Structure formats: C-alpha cells, structure tokens
Amino acid sequence: MISGRSSLPAADYIAETRRLYDSLGYDSYRWADERATPAPWAAIDKPLSQSRILLIGSGGLYRHGQIAFHTKDDTSIRLIASDTPTDELRTAHFAYDQTDARTDPNCVFPLDVLRAMVDDSELGGLTESAVAFMGGVYSTRRLREETVPLILEQCHRQEPDLVLLVPV
C-alpha cells in the first residue's frame, strides 16, 4: 500500500530551519537537545491488524468550524474525529509551506491512509479522535508544561495500542 522511498534529495533540516526562522525575523532558533535522555521504548505486543492507532500530528490541522491555531506559540490541541472527511480539514501553521497540506491533508495528517489500512484489515482500528497541534512553538518549557499534558491526557483517555506521531 505504501510506495517505496522518494527520489527527492534529503533536506538539510538544520540549515532549512535556520533559513526559515531567519526569514521570519527571529534572531536565532535555540535547539532543544534531549540526546542525553534515553527515549522510552515499549515492544509492540500484538499484531497491527489487531491494534487501535491514535494519530498525533504537529502540522496545525483543524476541522472546519474549529478555531484555527494562532500563528506563533499556540500550545493548544485540536481533537479531530477519526471519521472526519478530508475535505473538512484545514491547516494553520507558520513554519512550513502549507500548499500541499491544503491540497491533500494526508501528507501531514494521514487519516485517509489509516482508514484505508483499517478497511484492508492491516490495522485493527483508529481511536475515536486524532490529535492535532501546531508544532511551531519556540518554548520547549511551554510544550512540556502545556501541550504534552493535553496530548498525554488523550492517550490515556482513548487508550490506543499504538500512537503514530507525524511531525512537520
């Protein structure tokens, strides 16, 4: 179902991020360095075909009728019902070109792909809602104290077997 690797050249993420933030008039971007903290790991204990997935994306997606994300330092989240039609999804994010995401939200928030995988019995199901937030928050402290607890609350409430994180 998912095609092979892209033939596009790899992006130099650090150089591109510096270029973007410089163009926005910010003095500099302070990188968060968490490499000294080991990432938690949990083995998958059941087949994907029996697992419920929670989609979490940082591309600033929201459903038509919801309040759009602010253009800077918005630490809120949006819950998007997993059965939301793609044509009802919108984007609000200052840190990436949203042209493709506005044409096909699946490139940053793959609800249609996940639903097709459920229909094909490759996944067991989706949680009631997906979680969206705007990843362009400069303060790692605010992300930890404001955004992360909101996301974790949804993880506990919706009880997924797996979480798919889609960064932008």
> Distance between CA 55 and CA 163 in Å, rounded?
6
Per-residue pLDDT at 164: 96
Q: How many domains does the chain fold into? A: 1
Q: Tell me, yes or no, whether 27 lies in a domain.
A: no
In-domain check, residue 38: no
Predicted pLDDT of residue 112: 97
pLDDT band at residue 6, thresholds of 50, 70 and 90?
low
Strands 77-81 and 129-133: antiparallel
Task: Tally the C-alpha atoms within 13 A of residue 157's C-alpha that lie toward its C-beta.
Answer: 11
In whole angstroms, what is the distance from residue 20 CA to residue 43 CA?
37
pLDDT tens for residues 77-113? 999 999 999 999 999 988 888 899 999 999 999 999 9
User: What is the pLDDT, as a whole number, of residue 157?
Assistant: 98
Q: Is residue 133 part of a domain?
A: yes
Asked which of 29-38, 61-70, 78-87, 159-168 is least confident by mean pLDDT, the reply is: 29-38
Please report which helix (H) or strand (E) contains residue 142, including its range: helix 140-142
Backbone angles phi, psi at 126, to 5 degrees: -115, 155
pLDDT for the residue numbered 3: 46
- Tell me if 160 is assigned to some domain: yes
Kind of pairing, strands 77-81 and 162-166?
unpaired
- Domain carrying residue 78: 46-166
Q: How confident is the model at residue 7 (pLDDT cuts 50, 70, 90)?
A: low
Give mean pLDDT, residues 117-143. Answer: 93
